[in-house]
A and B are shown apart, each in its own frame.
Chain A
């Protein structure tokens, strides 16, 4: 029941807040990656955000979240706070301006609450209702706006998971490589954003317009500070099914298969005579209630049965996870087409044709 001592030592110099229900949160100020189940902002009382912490990617929810990183960030941000306060006192820094916005300001949310209240509003609920609100007001395009908080690999950077401003790798031929960024460089700024974490860099990428053509990076290399201008290729924000796979925002996208189930473990694969490391999942649910019930009915009508083991979809069998399958289906299948499923049932392989519907 004790907060780790090293964390407690740094946290005592902060005013602490924890949000477990986003219902009353000012969405205009606290701008986080709402797909995450954990996120932290380090900020000034006047609304200035110093740093962000708590991103994740498709590999693991914990890859970018560790105690040493948070402790170091809390320690370093105290310096940033003192510097900012000094700048503000000298009239060289100003608090930010923002337009307050809460869930109650989203008509789609208000309508939903009248029918059936969510109770606790989770972070991913915020994202879902921001999407609905945007769709209703022509401010959201699924083709573009699902690609939020781009990871550094989009520009060819791999950062150190613990010392997150440190460049671990630069992909050959990538925009960052072309800009002259090198492994061992330490990121200082990305555009106007001070970078101490991977989430800080993601924020800078997130805030860059869809059609931005370059992003200046300030990097520290030994005793030198250099500026590297990263040229952003067309469509640079758009990721792939794998990068979307962990994000809850994929669920409302259409078309959708209307069924799913757990990925088979190694012993299940062996029992079925499937190669070790291959992908397969066992169908254990159909979407059969609510506004998407037609998707589940469509899947059943195509002959899919509970217990079927799906080993390939549309000729593709190299999914990293069932979430990857769901993201891929939504991104790459078109309503009106037919997708072929290879399934195992009672030890025999069958091919099923699933009409793809919205």
Chain B
């Protein structure tokens, strides 16, 4: 019961903030442009934060690492 509720809350947060677009990028595979999930804006989500940091160091960008429970 409590696990189910936590999962529901996690899903709620995810849908409010990062939404199904994130799930869509996952469907596309990590590291590939999320065209389906983001209207072709080419936002790319890494699944490994260490890989994201290495990329950020190369590209001179900051990193956003999101932790969330999956459905």
Interface set of A (CB-CB < 8 Å, partner B): 1-4, 7-8, 11-22, 24-26, 30, 32, 36-47, 50, 54, 61-62, 65-67, 70, 74, 77-78, 80-81, 85, 120, 122-124, 248, 251, 260-262, 284-285, 323
Beyond A37-B6, A38-B13, A45-B53, whether A19 also contacts B67 by CB under 8 A is yes
Minimum Cβ distance to chain A for residue B62 (Å): 4
Q: What CA separation (Å) do A196 and B65 show in the bound complex?
A: 17
Minimum Cβ distance to chain A for residue B16 (Å): 7
A-B contact pairs, 12 of them (CB 8 A): A2-B19, A14-B61, A15-B64, A16-B63, A18-B18, A24-B48, A26-B50, A37-B10, A37-B68, A38-B17, A67-B16, A260-B1
Q: Is the CB of A17 within 8 A of B65?
A: yes
Q: Is the CB of B43 within 8 A of A25?
A: no
Q: Is the CB of B46 within 8 A of A62?
A: no
Known: A15-B53, A77-B62. 15 other contacts (CB 8 A): A1-B37, A3-B22, A8-B41, A14-B64, A16-B46, A18-B46, A21-B70, A30-B65, A37-B9, A37-B13, A38-B14, A38-B66, A43-B62, A120-B70, A123-B69
Q: Is the CB of B38 within 8 A of A32?
A: no
State the 5 A-B residue pairs at the shortest beta-carbon distance, nearest first: A45-B57, A37-B10, A45-B56, A17-B52, A3-B21
Q: Is the CB of A67 within 8 A of B62?
A: no
Q: What CA separation (Å) do A8 and B17 show in the bound complex?
A: 11
Q: What CA separation (Å) do A23 and B69 show in the bound complex?
A: 13
Give which listed residue, B6, B52, B68, contacts A16 with CB less than 8 A: B52
Point out the residues of chain A lying under 8 angstroms from B9, CB to CB. 37, 61
Q: Is the CB of B46 within 8 A of A3?
A: no
Minimum Cβ distance to chain A for residue B57 (Å): 3
Minimum Cβ distance to chain B for residue A306 (Å): 13
Q: What CA separation (Å) do A122 and B55 show in the bound complex?
A: 25
Q: Closest B residue to A78 by CB, please name it.
A: B62
Q: What CA separation (Å) do A16 and B22 show in the bound complex?
A: 10
Q: Closest B residue to A261 by CB, please name it.
A: B1
Q: What CA separation (Å) do A80 and B36 show in the bound complex?
A: 32
Point out the residues of chain B lying under 8 angstroms from A260, CB to CB. 1
Q: Is the CB of A39 within 8 A of B61?
A: no
Beyond A3-B37, A248-B6, whether A15 also contacts B59 by CB under 8 A is yes
Point out the residues of chain B lying under 8 angstroms from A25, CB to CB. 49
Point out the residues of chain B lying under 8 angstroms from A17, CB to CB. 45-49, 51-52, 63-66
